[in-house]
Amino acid sequence: MHRRHRLAAAATVVALAGSTAVLSAVPAAAASSHAELYISPSPFHPGYYIVIVTGHVHDAGPTTTVGMRLIGDDPVFNDDLGVSLATTVLGSNFAMETLVWHGTLNEDPEGGDEIFAKVSASNGWSRSTANVNGRY
């Protein structure tokens, strides 16, 4: 089961990385930094979700690292969901993946959940992704 999860996750990352590969053909001056969040149910771990953050960091060096933290979007105070990851940028692109229990993503027990990732790089760039809405 664990091997199938890894293969499915790797296929997902490769598919998502393919969408950022188009950016590598764009001149460096025209490419802009960005980050995207994806959340989908795990086919191999009931009750868990695969969380993937991908993106591009313009002017990233060979040792640039990128970190992310999952946040629940609320009108008054945002909830830090206690999920964080870090990776090294590869050719200005990055991808991070983790498995998260549904209860962690359920930041609004009485309604829908709005999740985003705060992403920052060691070169000073930072951004929040768009919200991913769901009922976890």
Tens of pLDDT along the chain (136 residues) come to: 444 444 444 444 444 444 444 334 444 444 689 999 999 999 999 999 999 999 999 989 889 999 999 999 988 899 999 999 999 999 999 999 999 999 999 998 888 999 999 999 999 999 999 999 999 9
Residue 72's identity, in one-letter code, is G
Average pLDDT, whole number, for the chain?
83
Cβ neighbours, 10 Å, residue 134:
16
Prediction pTM value: 0.76
pLDDT at 72: 96
The CATH class for the domain spanning 2-134 reads mainly beta
Domain boundaries, the chain: 2-134
CA 2, 17, 26 angle in degrees (round to 5)?
A: 170
| Cα–Cα distance for residue pair 133/113, rounded to 1 Å | 6
